[in-house]
A and B are shown apart, each in its own frame.
Chain A
Amino acid sequence: MRMFHSIRYVTQRGVRGMAQAPLVQLLAVATIAVCMLLLATVLLVWQNARSIADGWGVDVPVTAYLVDDVKPDAVAALAERIAALPQVERVDVITPEQALERLVEGLGEDPTLTAGLEAAVLPTSLEVIMPPAEAATAQGLAAALAGEPEVDEVVAAGAWVARSQALLETLRSIALGAAALVGFACLTIVWSTIRLAVYARRAEIQILRLVGGTPSFVHGPFVVEGFVQGALGAAMAVGLLYLGFDAVEPLLADAFALAFAAGGLRFLAPVECVAVVGFGAALGVLGSRAAVARYVET
């Protein structure tokens, strides 16, 4: 019961402390918001880069372009034989009309790019879908398909997969490095900001210690403040990022239509937004604890 009362007093003092210095609180929340915006941007870019890289290589590991005069029965029979292979998930037959439709869609709204182009000039193709785990066998399958009489040319995405994986690894390293740098900078800035707020109230800390406040009772209100500042700042950052994403996404989608053909840009998932807010709250708590520790320990 005493613990319950202590938590109540600590929370009350934390809220009261915030109300007494609204400008300092605003500064702390704004600082955390800017830092978390940087971190969340890194996360968003990383997520989309990974999604695009995945889309480039793994969706269609092998595409077989068929000869011009191939009969529909022969196409169906070949597709059935390939689909029966154990490493193949499914086979999609892409007619010349479907190929043209995709091309028009991929090149965007500029009609001059596809003016005069007819479906007849495009070949029928088979898209062989393989599970990501089987992507490494794409080259072997491509070599086998090249020997079929109905097949004119085979494009294996094995090399693309390897390249996309390499790109993905590089992006991952860059994102981790950037996140670590930004995270460290955030922690330092947040700590300095909260330390200013704590410094302004060092007399209160001294008094609480003199009357017999335990360390948790003394730094409790500051931890409450740090939690609220961190969560508010991070929530603001997520909101700002969403507004920015909403404004920029159509422009990027137009400019890089081919790159995003396999799947458009997407904002952070709700669970990721909650994680960002949670991380901001944790940052606020850690910053407060670190800032107040020197006054509590002495």
Chain B
Amino acid sequence: MPILEFSGVTMSYGTGARGRTAALRDVSFVTSEGAFVVLTGPSGAGKSTLLKLVLASARPDAGTIRVADRDIHRLRKSSIPYLRRNVGAVFQDFKLLPDATALENVALALQVLGLRPAEVDARARKALRDVELDPATKRSSRCLSGGEQQRVAIARALAGDPAILLADEPTGNLDPRLSREILELLQAVRRRGMTVVIATHDPLVLDHVEVSQILSLSMGRLVNDTAAVAATSEACMASAPLSAPIPSGEPIGAVA
């Protein structure tokens, strides 16, 4: 079942005399529920813009974007926060409140839901334990290591139990060992049935996770979609098998 669907999406930045710069050009793809999607491409290819569109932080110039079968850019402004509660996001710079503890940072994502304080506390603690962090730590997030901060960010993104987890260069600020740990964590998240979309130009990602779909962007265009290729291959296999037809009357064993 499709969870994320882009159809002819075009998006550009800038106004005025300098003109507009295209960030995405006619991008179309479909991602199934529970997939692990890697969005690759060089810097400036449009990866972050694509994630921003999914979070409704930007609007496309043309095309439609559907999340869980809802056209998100037809949503009223007042509905956008509710979409974001269903799409967790993790960033390269973590985006944590520096003076708040890990628990307080994770609790924030639950407080917006208006849950009881006791429930917020219990769920935030569980989310931290799920990413193998100690919920009792009193250190502010600015005192945590990069890997710990990224775990807190992942815990916060997962605390509200979203349908999709978006991660924009989640290993960009981490050394290879911490990067592997974070990727394994995201892999574990995917195994729980959540759809994970990672934007990265880190080749390590493809080596360490079981990817179900690779979307390659170049200068705003989708130049490769492994899911589309696979789907095309399957369709071709079904309609036109590559093996030659076996002549009638001859035993199968005699063909070779």
**Real binding pair:** yes
Residues of A near any B CB (own CB < 8 A): 1-3, 5-6, 8-9, 20, 203-204, 206-215, 217, 297
Q: A20-B99, A206-B95 are in contact. Are A211 and B156 (CB under 8 A)?
A: yes
In whole Å, how far is B28's beta carbon from the nearest beta carbon of chain A? 26
Q: Considering residues A207, A209, A210, A212, which has the most beta carbons from chain B within 10 angstroms of its beta carbon?
A: A212
Q: Are B84 and A207 in contact (CB under 8 A)?
A: no
Say what secondary structure dominates the interface of chain A.
helix
CB<8 Å pairs between A and B, sample of 12: A6-B111, A9-B111, A203-B97, A207-B96, A208-B108, A211-B84, A211-B112, A211-B156, A212-B109, A212-B113, A214-B81, A217-B112
Docked Cα-Cα span, A204 to B84, in Å, equals 16
Q: A5-B115, A6-B114, A204-B97 are in contact. Are A211 and B78 (CB under 8 A)?
A: no
Docked Cα-Cα span, A206 to B96, in Å, equals 10
**Which residues of B from 91 to 119 have beta carbons under 8 Å from A?**
95-97, 99, 108-109, 111-117
Docked Cα-Cα span, A3 to B78, in Å, equals 16
Does B82 lie at the interface of the complex (its beta carbon under 8 Å from any beta carbon of A)? yes
A residues near B114, Cβ cutoff 8 Å: 1-3, 5-6
Contact of B95 (CB < 8 Å), options: A8, A207, A217: A207
Q: Are B115 and A212 in contact (CB under 8 A)?
A: no
Q: Are A212 and B85 in contact (CB under 8 A)?
A: yes
Q: Are A209 and B111 in contact (CB under 8 A)?
A: no
A residues near B160, Cβ cutoff 8 Å: 211-212
B residues near A217, Cβ cutoff 8 Å: 81, 112
A residues near B113, Cβ cutoff 8 Å: 2, 212
B residues near A213, Cβ cutoff 8 Å: 81, 112
A residues near B85, Cβ cutoff 8 Å: 211-212
Residue of B nearest to A2 (CB): B114
B residues near A9, Cβ cutoff 8 Å: 111
Q: Are A211 and B97 in contact (CB under 8 A)?
A: no
Docked Cα-Cα span, A210 to B91, in Å, equals 11
In whole Å, how far is A298's beta carbon from the nearest beta carbon of chain B? 8
Q: Which are the 10 A-B pairs with shortest beta-carbon distances? A: A2-B114, A212-B85, A212-B84, A211-B109, A9-B111, A213-B112, A6-B114, A212-B81, A214-B81, A5-B114
In whole Å, how far is B124's beta carbon from the nearest beta carbon of chain A? 12
Docked Cα-Cα span, A249 to B111, in Å, equals 53
Does B9 lie at the interface of the complex (its beta carbon under 8 Å from any beta carbon of A)? no
Residue of A nearest to B83 (CB): A212
